[in-house]
Amino acid sequence: MEILILHGPNLNLLGKREPGIYGTTTLEQINQILEADGKILDTTVTCRQSNHEGELIDRIHACPGKYDGIVINAGAYTHTSIAIRDAIAAVNVPTVEVHLSNLHKREEFRHRSLIAAVCIGQICGFGIESYRLGLQALVTYLKK
Amino acid sequence: MEILILHGPNLNLLGKREPGIYGTTTLEQINQILEADGKILDTTVTCRQSNHEGELIDRIHACPGKYDGIVINAGAYTHTSIAIRDAIAAVNVPTVEVHLSNLHKREEFRHRSLIAAVCIGQICGFGIESYRLGLQALVTYLKK
Amino acid sequence: MEILILHGPNLNLLGKREPGIYGTTTLEQINQILEADGKILDTTVTCRQSNHEGELIDRIHACPGKYDGIVINAGAYTHTSIAIRDAIAAVNVPTVEVHLSNLHKREEFRHRSLIAAVCIGQICGFGIESYRLGLQALVTYLKK
Amino acid sequence: MEILILHGPNLNLLGKREPGIYGTTTLEQINQILEADGKILDTTVTCRQSNHEGELIDRIHACPGKYDGIVINAGAYTHTSIAIRDAIAAVNVPTVEVHLSNLHKREEFRHRSLIAAVCIGQICGFGIESYRLGLQALVTYLKK
Amino acid sequence: MEILILHGPNLNLLGKREPGIYGTTTLEQINQILEADGKILDTTVTCRQSNHEGELIDRIHACPGKYDGIVINAGAYTHTSIAIRDAIAAVNVPTVEVHLSNLHKREEFRHRSLIAAVCIGQICGFGIESYRLGLQALVTYLKK
Amino acid sequence: MEILILHGPNLNLLGKREPGIYGTTTLEQINQILEADGKILDTTVTCRQSNHEGELIDRIHACPGKYDGIVINAGAYTHTSIAIRDAIAAVNVPTVEVHLSNLHKREEFRHRSLIAAVCIGQICGFGIESYRLGLQALVTYLKK
Amino acid sequence: MEILILHGPNLNLLGKREPGIYGTTTLEQINQILEADGKILDTTVTCRQSNHEGELIDRIHACPGKYDGIVINAGAYTHTSIAIRDAIAAVNVPTVEVHLSNLHKREEFRHRSLIAAVCIGQICGFGIESYRLGLQALVTYLKK
Amino acid sequence: MEILILHGPNLNLLGKREPGIYGTTTLEQINQILEADGKILDTTVTCRQSNHEGELIDRIHACPGKYDGIVINAGAYTHTSIAIRDAIAAVNVPTVEVHLSNLHKREEFRHRSLIAAVCIGQICGFGIESYRLGLQALVTYLKK
Amino acid sequence: MEILILHGPNLNLLGKREPGIYGTTTLEQINQILEADGKILDTTVTCRQSNHEGELIDRIHACPGKYDGIVINAGAYTHTSIAIRDAIAAVNVPTVEVHLSNLHKREEFRHRSLIAAVCIGQICGFGIESYRLGLQALVTYLKK
Amino acid sequence: MEILILHGPNLNLLGKREPGIYGTTTLEQINQILEADGKILDTTVTCRQSNHEGELIDRIHACPGKYDGIVINAGAYTHTSIAIRDAIAAVNVPTVEVHLSNLHKREEFRHRSLIAAVCIGQICGFGIESYRLGLQALVTYLKK
Amino acid sequence: MEILILHGPNLNLLGKREPGIYGTTTLEQINQILEADGKILDTTVTCRQSNHEGELIDRIHACPGKYDGIVINAGAYTHTSIAIRDAIAAVNVPTVEVHLSNLHKREEFRHRSLIAAVCIGQICGFGIESYRLGLQALVTYLKK
Amino acid sequence: MEILILHGPNLNLLGKREPGIYGTTTLEQINQILEADGKILDTTVTCRQSNHEGELIDRIHACPGKYDGIVINAGAYTHTSIAIRDAIAAVNVPTVEVHLSNLHKREEFRHRSLIAAVCIGQICGFGIESYRLGLQALVTYLKK
């Protein structure tokens, strides 16, 4: 099984910014953990990050025939990008939405996800574990 | 470790109602799966269900000193009960919010969770797996 | 045919409170009228009242296999209870919504019914006659 | 007793349009059923339909001294016509509002009735039976 | 000078309905007063009433070349008719908006006038005097 | 093929009002252009205008069996008439919505079309060309 | 009869500011015209202006026993001052609200009048004539 | 005089939860203070707490003939329970609403009280003193 | 201890206006009652009233070093004055907000208090007793 | 004449995704049809697609001096991109907005177009024909 | 050149209140800095402060012929005073709006400025520097 | 000191588009002015522009360790980009927001800045001077 982990804007700064809040684990380290998790789940995990909405869309478009599922943390685009929503709906590749922080504890404008309605489900608030649970949920879903 | 799984209103009907949508797994069977999961995670899992908002609050109140964490599916009370929110905030026992369905695909009034902001995180849309992921997330959280 | 008449919060006070507005007919007398109506319609009518949202849900859950239909006056819960809505939707027993007063003549927050969309229809504004018309409408519906 | 049944816009198409949804009973047949019901209730029933807001208002104005009550299905004007509301309020003839479909299951803009607050009560969702129950409710009301 | 007084829906009932509120002066008597006022102002006053939005529009369309100004009480259409607004804007005949009652003391939905922005000004709350003041204001305006 | 062109309120004034904005082409001339276009498209074009909401509904009702499609410019009723929407939905005759001006450049209340959702599509902003494009789009649609 | 004309904030600039819009008549000249009108109406007219909300309230408080009625142009305070509204309601002196410009042609926040509901009626859009009509309307009202 | 002090959801945790915020006084101690206050005011004070909306309603229903007044802290139900509002309105026993915290300093959804409009008055923000002031206010009210 | 009682706009009319509603007690008499209450509480009470927002701000500014606390009834400014809110926040003198009437029974625009969030607490609905309870609450607060 | 056809996000998937809904015509085939249409209209048609908001802006900036007009289907950016709106407004090249689907039949958030107000007009709902009509409308516009 | 610096409500407390937030510079010291800045810019700077909305309006009215421009920090009146807005618009003296704090980091109700639309521009968030930059911006503007 | 001037979408067109409104100064010329200003302020100024949201984010990410501060004119992204907001918040480099035009005089949707709350302050409305003032404000801020 092939899974794409797609990280949205500003996530490249993980472990480098505000370590007091987000910890000192870098995005690279998260990717390594997810790749290791993938091996246990008999799954090849590929990780990509971009700050560009268009590039995220391009990557989603490239999924059919190449990946069996997507775990996406669309970052701030979660709340503003109908285009990413349409991309996920169009390619019809099972997608799980994850977030490091609990969006509901933050500003009002982060409470609405434009992409949630086209994903299988949503996991938020568990830090790095959100990604790991998302990967696991997706693999379980695909095996059914 | 001791974990309480708290099921809210109408969840007692699981497996009995609308099997076309919700499958044929009953709440009892879900509870057995979660108890089994608990054993693997070295955790005692106790499951309770109630259709009464007040009883759910009473049960949350009874947690401190007895349970290390709560996995709650507050059902429809998720969207209407500030009292359950206050109960979770008051007892200060780590709590994970789960939902069987993806709330964001349903009616507008199910998009807002009144309890999310006082929980660690939220998992929705994965059917029974939402509970299992929630239990796992909670145990990981408590072990840190 | 078996019909459950379900009275929600504060309706136990009928005939005792504000007789100038609601008349002097008590809930018991209403129930007797409905039972008599039932006989004419070849139907057994059972009447229950509760001020507890959870108890109303429990009663709705107990309907399948026991009652062929429900006439419900959910009182103030009409405007606040998604849980009762879900209960009605789940048991899949034909339900008619009735109200003594014309909700549209009252406060703004009484204009929205959360349960109307899962009922066959709604009757309001005719005092005790709302119940009688609702019973009759339900029996006609069930006979088809 | 003299009762006017007033049908609003598009109701002349009944039985001819979308029979899958509305059945094959025509407006004429509904009128015959209501006239027959009237006889049983010792009441002369007169039925009128118009697609013109102004004509509906004219007909309401003509009621005092001629009709003892009105059963109105204002169709789409229910949600947009303050003028019909004012007409009903002005003539002071007891009026019952009926609808074939359950408005609460339809588009948001059909949830608000501008005329409900000046009617005795509202009945919706029971198909043709809505009219019959409305007629019966009105006669009961007038006899008191 | 030629002035058209245009009365909207339900105003034909004046003096006949709710005399406790609106007094016993009929529309005909108001028209006679306005015609008399016209004579003093050296102006021919013509009065028309209709309950039909379309007819009111037709009458407004017929104004250019025939009337120098319009005094309109659009009744309930004030709050719902963009079509009447467009008609007034199109014919480009100076128009004054009047209302018998003070709209701001009534229901929220009567606070917004869709036609006010295309009229010279608005006068409301003075009963019959609203018409008389409106006629006078229009004549003064036209003389400048 | 038979097509009905239906013009709503105030459009009879075209070419006569505000020539600076709307040009000097009258409605009659537009109709002649559309009839000529019809001939090229092998289609009989019939044009009707009314300022009366009810008459527009009557005309829509008369379409089945007589016209294969409708091009409608509902004018101001576009934003206020649920009744016209229901009429179009009921007769089930393919309908194209057109507007002379670009509604999105005008007042906020002209941005919402109540009839768009029951039409094939919408064309606005091209002046007389809107009608011509609408006619062409409808014929293309009907030929498929 | 004694009438107070109360001018609110910025009206002291009349005739001095933006003469292209408001003309060259100063507030003093308006006051002279109103005093002259008063004489014809057998009424003593007193005029006061203030830019201070508190002073306007003080002046309203001083009315009972001294003035039979008030014509008020509260300027911008019309839209923001609940305190002036309460003052008018408290003293119970008949009050007419006037405005030079047609508020409905201006910014959205000028469409709502906080004081209209405690006045007899409102006149706006006629320039200086708004005051004259207001004075006349008030005198007519008081004579009844 | 007999007064009922009614404590709503989560108030049983007082003194046990978040002592840093709410202090270490338990609900029992508060009740003792209020009973002592009652003696000074020549009043018997009875205290009840429940986390169940239905039970709070039941207790309010039991008041007539037994209690002369109610001091209620409805906790989170203040913002969500129309049923408790209706209960207070129905029994017609003078009621004072109190809150420990200043609701206006907290989340937006705590700013609206559904029960305030059916109570004599509201006291919030003074901690335990809110109850004591409420009791005193009620006794003063009843003595008049 | 020194306490300032600050009365906002229109409160100078107390006892003089609408005695049917507000009673016949004048502001002066209220002040005497509060001064007497002060003596019992070992507190000097000073009372000031103004209809001017600016003067109320000036008085609040003058408090530090002179008064230990403020009891304020800001009248209509409660709902419109951010400036008074800022003044209270700036001087950092403990302040209690009081109102004669129960704001929640009145117009929607009186339900929001702009100053409540910078006060200790709020008391409304008890007539003159609101002031007395507020004074008592403030003294209790200051003694702690 | 030179025309740029600009396709926004996800339109590169046309003919490849959801053929049941969008048909099997690919974007390339659409472009060929439009180029052929262009020849008939004596116009050179150039087609570009991008999923990147910034690239779409860059392309619009490159238009002056190179293209006489633009036909744009901005896809999901229609509803979220003020930047594209500003780009169209800035270059001042006549632009026509087109959409394959009827936006008014879809989710609420697709009903508002941020770019419509800076385009000549809008065409939506006719599938591929929307582009062809748009091209034709633009050429007609440019020829005038 | 003559410039008026106008300080609104509560700014007289600067340097005296909350020094932890606003620093220890008093309003007098700010004025001295601005006067010194003025000298460098070849400009006479006059500074005035008032807590009274009416006085601020009076001062703005006095500007024409005396001052070439205004730098205004309207404090809390920024968000509530349409009257100050109208005063600035009326006198037509170039005005720059400044604020010490960054309004966008504060409460929602401070995000809207009623006066911004009638000023040249707005500067906020730089503490005392906001005034200095505002003065400089105004002088640069006037020199052009 | 090193400062980055970041220009958002469409600003590359400056001096080329709408010279009547924006003047004939090109972006390059603005940059030269700012670089010259930088020299006077002992600061190296680097200028970058992009129409791509992602590229703006990339540039902000590259700032730490390279630039001491940012002056940003995010153009239309000001109102739609949470991602740019998050980037500024993440890198923790002091940032000043500037705009050429006074946003408050333009469309409603330009009144809200999503990035203002994470910047030091905001300057708008002074044309090119907005940048110069912003640069100066930033340098002053950094020197403290």
J65: domain CATH number?
3.40.50.9100
Residue C53 CB contacts under 8 Å (≥ 6 apart), including other chains: B52, B53, C9, C77, C81, C83, C84, H53, H54, H83
Residues of D in CB contact (< 8 Å) with E are 52-55, 57-58, 61, 80-83, 85-87, 90-92, 114
Task: Tell if the CB–CB gap between G121 and E117 is shorter than 8 Å.
Answer: no
Known catalytic membership, residue K22: yes
**Does residue A108 contact residue A137 with C-beta atoms inside 8 Å?**
no
**Does residue C94 contact residue C70 with C-beta atoms inside 8 Å?**
yes
Domain count of the fold of chain B: 1
Question: Least CA distance to I120: which residue of chain H?
Answer: H125
Residue A74 has pLDDT above 80, yes or no: yes
Mean pLDDT of chain F: 96
Percent of chain B with pLDDT strictly greater than 70: 99
Q: What is the pLDDT of residue B16?
A: 85
How far does J87 lie from chain L, in Å, by closest CA?
6
Known catalytic membership, residue F22: yes
d(CA F97, CA F104): 15
Quickly tell me which residue has 């300032």 as its tokens: I4
When pLDDT is averaged across residues C22-32 and rounded to a whole number, the result is 91
The DSSP bridge pattern shows strands H121-124 and I121-124 to be antiparallel
Q: Where are the alpha helices (DSSP H) in C62-95?
A: 82-91
When pLDDT is averaged across residues J91-96 and rounded to a whole number, the result is 96
Give the burial class of A35: count Cβ atoms within 10 A of its Cβ; 0-12 exposed, 13-18 middle, 19 or more buried. middle
Please list every residue in chain A whose beta carbon sits closer than 8 Å to the beta carbon of residue J51: 54, 57-58, 61, 83, 87
pLDDT digits (tens, 9 = 90+) for I52-70: 999 999 999 999 999 999 9
Residue I21 has pLDDT above 90, yes or no: no
When pLDDT is averaged across residues J79-98 and rounded to a whole number, the result is 97
Token couple for I135: 């004074």
Percent of chain B with pLDDT strictly greater than 90: 92
d(CA H65, CA H85): 20
Q: What is the pLDDT of residue K17?
A: 77
d(CA H51, CA J63): 67
Q: Which secondary structure element, helix H or strand E, spans residue C55, and what is its range?
A: helix C53-61
Q: What is the pLDDT of residue C95?
A: 98
**Would you give per-residue pLDDT tens digits along chain D (144 residues)?**
999 999 999 999 998 877 776 778 999 999 999 999 999 999 999 999 999 999 999 999 999 999 999 999 999 999 999 999 999 999 989 999 999 999 999 999 999 999 999 999 999 999 999 999 999 999 999 998
When pLDDT is averaged across residues I34-59 and rounded to a whole number, the result is 98
- The three-state secondary structure class of D7 is strand
Q: What is the pLDDT of residue A118?
A: 97
d(CA I10, CA K89): 31
Task: Tell if the CB–CB gap between F120 and J105 is shorter than 8 Å.
Answer: no
Percent of chain K with pLDDT strictly greater than 90: 92
Domain that holds residue C69: 2-143
pLDDT digits (tens, 9 = 90+) for B56-74: 999 999 999 999 999 999 9
* Lowest mean pLDDT segment, chosen from C55-64, F80-89, H17-26, K120-129: H17-26
Task: Tell if the CB–CB gap between L80 and J82 is shorter than 8 Å.
Answer: yes
Question: Least CA distance to L75: which residue of chain J?
Answer: J83
When pLDDT is averaged across residues K86-106 and rounded to a whole number, the result is 96
Q: Which secondary structure element, helix H or strand E, spans residue A5, and what is its range?
A: strand A2-7
**Does residue I115 contact residue I11 with C-beta atoms inside 8 Å?**
no
Residue J17 has pLDDT above 80, yes or no: no
Q: Buried b vs exposed e over C26-48: b needs ≥16 C-beta within 10 Å?
A: ebeebbebbbebbeebebebbbe
- For residue E132, give Cα distances in angstroms to E18, E35, G43, G98, H76: 22, 10, 20, 16, 56
Q: What is the pLDDT of residue J19?
A: 75
Q: Nearest CA to K81 among H29, G58, G80?
A: G80
How many helices (H) and strands (E) chain C has is answered by 5, 5
pLDDT digits (tens, 9 = 90+) for F63-114: 999 999 999 999 999 999 999 999 999 998 999 999 999 999 999 999 999 9
- The three-state secondary structure class of E26 is coil
Q: How many CA atoms lie within 13 A of J92 on its CB side?
A: 6
Q: Buried b vs exposed e over K106-126: b needs ≥16 C-beta within 10 Å?
A: eeeebbebbbbbbbbbbbbbb
Residue L2 has pLDDT above 80, yes or no: yes
Q: How far is CA F137 from the centre of its chain?
A: 12
- DSSP assignment string, D9-36: TTGGGTTTS-HHHH-S--HHHHHHHHHH
Q: Which of I7, I67, I77, I99 is catalytic?
A: I99
Q: What is the pLDDT of residue A17?
A: 77
**Closest partner residue to A123 among B112, B119, B123, by Cβ?**
B123
Q: What is the pLDDT of residue D21?
A: 65
pLDDT digits (tens, 9 = 90+) for L13-46: 998 877 776 778 999 999 999 999 999 999 999 9
Q: Which secondary structure element, helix H or strand E, spans residue C46, and what is its range?
A: strand C44-49
Quickly tell me which residue has 């530090």 as its tokens: I64
Residue C17 has pLDDT above 90, yes or no: no
Q: How far is CA E13 from the centre of its chain?
A: 15
Residue H2 has pLDDT above 90, yes or no: yes
Residues of K in CB contact (< 8 Å) with G are 52-55, 57-58, 61, 80-83, 85-87, 90-92, 114
User: Are there at least 3 beta-carbon pairs closer than 8 Å between D and H?
Assistant: no
When pLDDT is averaged across residues L77-105 and rounded to a whole number, the result is 97
Q: What is the pLDDT of residue K21?
A: 65
Q: Other C-beta atoms within 10 Å of F122: how many?
A: 26
- For residue L85, give Cα distances in angstroms to A10, A51, E114, L77: 10, 13, 40, 10
Q: What is the pLDDT of residue E21?
A: 65
CA angle F37, F38, F40 (to 5 degrees): 65
Q: What is the pLDDT of residue J21?
A: 65
Q: What is the pLDDT of residue A34?
A: 98
Q: What is the pLDDT of residue A21?
A: 65
To test the contact with chain E by mutation, choose from G104, G108, G136, G143 the residue with the greatest count of E C-beta atoms within 10 A, namely G104
Residue F19 has pLDDT above 90, yes or no: no
Torsion sign over Cα A125, A126, A131, A136: negative
To test the contact with chain C by mutation, choose from B51, B53, B79, B108 the residue with the greatest count of C C-beta atoms within 10 A, namely B51
- The three-state secondary structure class of E23 is coil
Q: Nearest CA to E9 among E49, E48, E51?
A: E51
When pLDDT is averaged across residues E113-124 and rounded to a whole number, the result is 98
Please list every residue in chain K whose beta carbon sits closer than 8 Å to the beta carbon of residue I82: 76, 79-80, 109-110
- In the 8-state DSSP scheme, what is residue B121? E
In the complex, which subunits touch J with 3 or more CB pairs below 8 angstroms?
Answer: A, F, L
Task: Tell if the CB–CB gap between B126 and A140 is shorter than 8 Å.
Answer: yes
Complex ipTM value = 0.95
Residues of C in CB contact (< 8 Å) with D are 102, 104-105, 111-113, 116-117, 119-126, 129-130, 133, 136-137, 140-141
Q: How far is CA I60 from the centre of its chain?
A: 11
Size of interface J-L (CB pairs under 8 A): 54
Q: Where are the alpha helices (DSSP H) in I53-127?
A: 53-61, 82-91
- DSSP assignment string, K131-142: HHHHHHHHHHHH
Q: Nearest CA to C115 among A41, D125, B60?
A: D125
**Does residue I39 contact residue G117 with C-beta atoms inside 8 Å?**
no
Task: Give strand ranges (E) for chain F.
Answer: 2-7, 44-49, 69-73, 95-99, 121-124
When pLDDT is averaged across residues A104-129 and rounded to a whole number, the result is 96
Q: What is the pLDDT of residue J84?
A: 98
Which of the pair, F56 or G16, is modelled with greater confidence? F56
Q: Which of J7, J22, J79, J111 is catalytic?
A: J22
Q: Other C-beta atoms within 10 Å of C143: how many?
A: 10
Residue G128 CB contacts under 8 Å (≥ 6 apart), including other chains: G23, G25, G30, G33, G100
Separation of first and last alpha carbons in chain L: 13
Q: Which of I7, I22, I77, I111 is catalytic?
A: I22
Please list every residue in chain B whose beta carbon sits closer than 8 Å to the beta carbon of residue A72: none
Kindly report the backbone phi and psi dihedral angles of residue K49, in degrees, each rounded to the nearest multiple of 5, phi listed first. Answer: -135, 145
Q: What is the pLDDT of residue C21?
A: 65
Which of the pair, H139 or G144, is modelled with greater confidence? H139
For the sheet with H69-73, list strands across it. Answer: H44-49, H2-7, H69-73, H95-99, H121-124, I121-124, I95-99, I69-73, I2-7, I44-49
